[in-house]
Amino acid sequence: MSISCVKRCTICPVSVEGAAGYMRHMRQVHGTDRLFGTNCPLCDSNFIFTNFKSFMNHFRNHDLHLSSEETPPLSLLLNCNDFTSNNYDEIEYEQHEQQEQGITLWQHENHDSLDGIKKFYLKMLLKIREGHVLPGSVMKTMALSITCLLQFFSYHLLSKLHMNIDNPISFNFNNDVEKTLFEISRNDHSFISCCQIYFKFVKPKEIRLPTGNKAYYIPLRDLLMNLFEKKDFYDSVKQEKEIISQFHEQDIIYHYRNAEIGRQHRILNRKKNCVLLQLYSDDLGVVNPLMGKNAIHKLTTFYISIDDLPACHSSSLSTVYLLLLYYRKDFDDENNRRILFAPLSQDLKSLENDGLILPGDKTPTYFTISTMCADNLATHELGGFTRTFTTGCCCRYCFTHHKDMKRIYQESQTLIRTTESYDIQIRHVEKVPSDKSMYGINEASTLSFISSFHPITSLPPDLMHDVLEGVMPKLTSCLLHSMMSSRLCTSKICQMINKFTYGNNDKRNRPLALKEKDISEKIIRGKAMEKYCLFLNLPFMLFDILDRIPYWFLYELFREIWDILYCDFPRKSWLSTLQTLIEEFLQLFQTIFPEQFTPKFHFLLHSARNTAKYGPLKRQMNLRYEAKHHLLKQIANRCNNFINLPYTISKRVQLRQCYELIDENAFRLNNVSGKIRTRRTITFHKSIQNALTDDSPFIYGDIVEFVKWVLIDNVKYKIGDFFVAHLLGGEEIPLFVKIKFIIHIVKQWRFIVQCYDTITFRQIYGVMK
């Protein structure tokens, strides 16, 4: 068979251009096939090759043999008597020049269309591969599938148009598209290179450590420029800063900027045009499924988020950005720590001193750190405090010894740590290391290179670990255990809790099934939000026996505390009441359940002071940062590559961020809803028809569009949900509404609601009636 007769792949129905195109197609598409098998298209043998390398060697040998046989002698091409050597050179030059001009013209005509196809294909790859966290090998499968689809489409289209199926324009264009797709999908390097060109992919920066391991840092300046180039992102930050400024010197503590430390922040006071950044650090364990628990890869992650974003956007995981990733064991060496944080230190100094000139601005915008969020162990490690919570001065807010915590119920009985005392004690500990236990300080903070960071003012409490996973489940387990002494059947209690019907908004956080063994051992299992869901619904689960539960007043008391602690906008006038309630609760709990008292109960004693210092503690929670870990673990398990795990994860996280910022706007628009249905206006109840008539901004026709749910500002509204619409009077009595219909008109959403008057507050249930 002639080598020019090879026009189709012997494995898939893709057209190829000769032996060279066939070999290229086999290498790009079928080189990694697990079940490789094909015959040779150049020989008459029916032998099936199952090894790719042996087949390629066989094909090359045939290709060379047939090429030598098919090459005609020079005498058949040119008559030596008619042409001189000079003439031959001129003809060859002219033919070459014409060929080059033809290629240049074809490339020029098809450059724009191929560039558009390339960009569209990159977008599609990002949406499918990163949006669904698929392995990189899916790219070649997609390229092959799209190429086959294009071949079939061209064939049938030309047939329908009664055109020559072997049309050279269609054939050449299809070949160019195929080359473009496989060029992008060849490997991760080519894919990332294209993402850098078209979508400003921020490549992780490699940090080599003396131990031989590698860490990866995301350049902070490049990350911030990518974010603030999105107009809606920058506008949201500006609008939020304007809202924050309205609460300056007001009773409401709206933001960190309105709190005590925010008002004293050195960079904020010196430079007005400043944006706050929030850091977070935590350890992450990834298990190699092939080697079991003995092969746990312990990594440390640093995340960053914009602290000046509105809560409706900052609650989304897409606004949490990876900053630094390294193996946990590399942190123990002091020299490694200096190398790890050197790039971050350099970027932060530059952002605080020089700033960035953002799009549309003529003056620089400065960036600085507000707080460093972490769990208690990571906070004490980064702040240089003692890392044990069973002995010594283990509280980073005061100098209370562990053995005295159970006897102290008032904050006035404690000696509060200050920045001045910390600096003096650090200098003393460096000279006299044996006095570490006296002050509860081991060493200087690892993050001391950040000018705006101080361990006393930059490490806020975490409600998730201290309350949702600390005080709250401990109180719940103690109350359930106390029922056993009241002759209440444990199995009946478990049955009442496990058979409880949760509402639509609580179903996803449904707690684990409670067992009798858990009640007897005083254990509440599950995640933080599952424990929280159990705590909130406990009065409704045990509705029939609440009057028989001893010490239920502890639940009512703690619900009052939690309502203030978890408030979006706490008030300074509430803090004295909050402190009184906490002191009362701690004294009662320690008296009734002395053996269950832990340091997290003592940390609760400083919550009122911390609210005044840091603002709403809800904004300092680790909950959304911990949820980001799920993406990193998912990437590690899907890629199944544990050779250089920090690089694999950081690269894919950055590709995911590239996918999230692929559109013109950084945030999702408010047009996500359920299926739009139609209904005639006259079929509504008369009162609803009157409401539609009274809605003067809009004119409703005979047909009305409505949905069952809609997502607005990252809040999902569903028919049947209750919300607080207004606060009435000086006592701020809430007016509740129930959503009856969600109407869609002129690209806006209108809610038809039923109002409910508030009669009284039922403290035993912690709800309004």
Q: Residue for token digits 């007005």?
A: 272
pLDDT at 91 over 60: no
Q: Where does a domain end: 71, 101, 117?
A: 71
Assigned domain for 401 exists: yes
pLDDT at 594 over 80: yes
Q: Which residues pair with 321 in a beta bridge?
A: 304
Same domain flag for 558 and 692: no
Same domain flag for 217 and 345: yes
Same domain flag for 472 and 541: yes
Sequence letter at residue 479: L
Q: Are strands 672-673 and 366-373 parallel, antiparallel or unpaired?
A: unpaired
Residue 551 vs residue 20, higher pLDDT: 551
Quick check: pTM over 0.85? no
Residue 233 vs residue 107, higher pLDDT: 233
| pLDDT grade for 67, boundaries at 50, 70 and 90 | low
The domain total for the chain is 6
pLDDT in tens, 321-342: 999 999 999 998 889 999 999 9
- The mean pLDDT value for 177-191 works out to 87
pLDDT in tens, 253-303: 999 999 999 999 999 999 889 999 999 999 998 877 666 555 678 999 999
Same domain flag for 434 and 498: no
Assigned domain for 429 exists: yes
| pLDDT grade for 103, boundaries at 50, 70 and 90 | very low
pLDDT at 82 over 50: no
pLDDT score of 111? 52
Same domain flag for 146 and 235: no
- Measured distance CA(128)–CA(118) in Å, rounded: 15
Assigned domain for 295 exists: yes
Same domain flag for 529 and 604: yes
Going from the C-alpha of 749 to that of each of 75, 505, 670, 707, the distances in angstroms are 82, 21, 9, 10
Same domain flag for 209 and 241: yes
CATH of residue 5's domain is: 3.30.160
Q: Which residues pair with 737 in a beta bridge?
A: 723, 755
pLDDT score of 105? 47
pLDDT score of 83? 37
Percent of the chain with pLDDT over 70: 90
Assigned domain for 84 exists: no
Same domain flag for 755 and 701: yes
Most confident of 250-254, 502-506, 637-641: 250-254
Same domain flag for 218 and 271: yes
pLDDT in tens, 370-394: 999 999 999 999 999 998 898 889 9
Assigned domain for 705 exists: yes
pLDDT at 584 over 90: yes
- The mean pLDDT value for 87-108 works out to 46
3-state secondary structure 284-320: EEEECCCCHHHHEEEEEEEEEEECCCCHHHHCCHHHC
pLDDT at 428 over 80: yes
- The mean pLDDT value for 114-122 works out to 87
Beta strands in 194-343 (DSSP E): 205-208, 214-217, 274-287, 296-306, 321-327
pLDDT in tens, 393-405: 999 999 999 999 9
Going from the C-alpha of 394 to that of each of 74, 159, 280, the distances in angstroms are 92, 80, 21
pLDDT at 73 over 70: no
Assigned domain for 99 exists: no
Which uninterrupted H or E stretch holds 77?
helix 74-77
pLDDT score of 425? 93
| pLDDT grade for 669, boundaries at 50, 70 and 90 | low
- Measured distance CA(31)–CA(140) in Å, rounded: 10
Residue 372, SS3 per DSSP? strand
Residue 485 vs residue 134, higher pLDDT: 134
Q: Where does a domain end: 181, 199, 217?
A: 199
Average per-residue pLDDT for the chain: 85
pLDDT score of 110? 53
- The mean pLDDT value for 190-199 works out to 90
Assigned domain for 665 exists: no
Same domain flag for 315 and 279: yes
Percent of the chain with pLDDT over 90: 46
pLDDT score of 203? 93
Q: Where does a domain end: 143, 176, 199?
A: 199
Q: Which strand ranges, in their side-by-side order, compose the sheet holding 709-712?
A: 672-673, 709-712, 715-718
Same domain flag for 367 and 268: yes
| pLDDT grade for 106, boundaries at 50, 70 and 90 | very low
Q: Print the domain residue range for 468.
A: 463-620
Residues in the chain: 769
pLDDT score of 558? 95
Same domain flag for 379 and 249: yes
Assigned domain for 635 exists: no
pLDDT at 164 over 80: no
pLDDT at 690 over 60: yes
Spell out the residues 6+ positions from residue 390 whose beta carbon is closer than 8 angstroms to its own: 402
